[in-house]
Amino acid sequence: MPTIKFTNLSVHVIDFFYPQHKKGRFLRFHHITFWVGNAKQAASFYSDKMGFERFAYKGLETGSRDVAAHVVRQGKIMFVFESALNPGHKEMGEHLMKHGDGVKDIAFQVEDCDYLIKTAKERGAVIVKEPWVEQDSHGKVNIQWPFPAWIQRCLLFHRFWSIDDKQIHTQFSALRSIVVTNYEETIKMPINEPAQGEKKSQIQEYVDYNGGPGVQHIALNSSNIIETIVNLRARGMEFLSAPDTYYDILREKLRTAKIKVKEDLDRLQELRILVDFDDNGYLLQIFSKPVQDRPTLFLEVIQRYNHYGFGAGNFKSLFEAIEKDQDARGNLTALTPDGQNKAF
Ligand SMILES: O=C(O)C(=O)Cc1ccc(O)cc1
Ligand SMILES: [Fe+2]
């Protein structure tokens, strides 16, 4: 009799019926709007340091009296920087004072914007600004917090993946993370919140300096992360550094891994690019330092090979690298017994 040998067991459980709109759908991120103190200079940071191209402008010369906007673009990625021209622009002034430079809103390209807005309203969404719709039916909705519950209830996103503070913590700080996505899973947003640890979580540091929740980082895909990071570094972008021990441990883990990393590990180490993997694929990622004075928004560059995670295997080393900088800012402070901590 020929022997039969099974090697592995895998159980696939369908545990959710993901909600889907009857009509219309979310397609992709369309653009991100930033409110900043000086849109002209912010746009030139993204052009000069990150290779974005100037795409559109409005300001006094074009008849815009209150707000200047500089739009930069790279392939499908579009960033809009806006700042107030009119010294009496209360909303922008107050926003800037509270949050500093940062993301104001996220625009999704959709099909059937009217229907999506109508049903979002029926489910309790408050429309801050009525959507405007262009030929490409790209709508813009101002979103509210608490974001995970809101986006699931009103926009019918579902939970893609989540981890809790028991899995993700350093010696000092912890966080909980859930990733939400649309029905087709073309848009993914990890949502992180601070969890109680020994010291102030880096997520709490963000919340303190941003004056509340907001966009913490934006990930940009690259099809050649090594070349991208070489060029970004040459243009003066600054990134967080994992220690050499991270690469010692990585080499050890990769020796018994089912996948093979194509890139030269020495090169990845030299550039401080992180690697996370499972049995089927891997990702390469790196995080910038904050892109403004406040320790709030930063950027991520990511390259994926059949791997759809967010680098959970790197969280610990990454957070330790963040904590090093957090400490240098005087913000890796001990918590009082009730978990509270004065930021300012
Ligand atoms: O969740 C993500 O998208 C990540 O890329 C991982 C991560 C989570 C929290 C951070 O402060 C920094 C990075
Ligand atoms: Fe990320």
Model confidence over 249-307: pLDDT tens digits? Answer: 999 999 999 999 999 999 999 999 999 999 999 999 999 999 999 999 999 999 999 99
Peptide bond into 213 cis (omega under 30): no
Give the atom of ligand 1 at the shortest distance from the alpha carbon of 179: 1
Q: For residue 310, which of 216, 224, 233, 195 has the smallest C-alpha distance? A: 216
pLDDT at 36 over 80: yes
**Number of separate helices (H) and strands (E) present in the chain:** 9, 13
Is the predicted ipTM greater than 0.95, yes or no? yes
CB atoms within 10 A of CB 2: 4
Per the DSSP assignment, residues forming a β-bridge with 271 are none
**Number of C-beta neighbours around residue 286 at 10 A:** 28
Cα(191) to ligand 1 centroid in Å equals 9
Cα of 301 from ligand 2 centre, angstroms: 9
Average pLDDT, the chain: 90
Q: With cut-offs at 50, 70 and 90, classify the pLDDT of residue 139.
A: very low
Query: For the residues 148-170, what does the mean pLDDT come to?
Result: 83
pLDDT at residue 134 tops 70: no
CB of 284 within 6 A of ligand 1: the answer is no
Instruction: Tell me the pTM.
Output: 0.90
Cβ of residue 208 lying under 6 Å from some atom of ligand 1: no
What is the dihedral sign for C-alpha 184, 105, 294, 149? negative
311 Cβ closer than 6 Å to some ligand 1 atom: yes
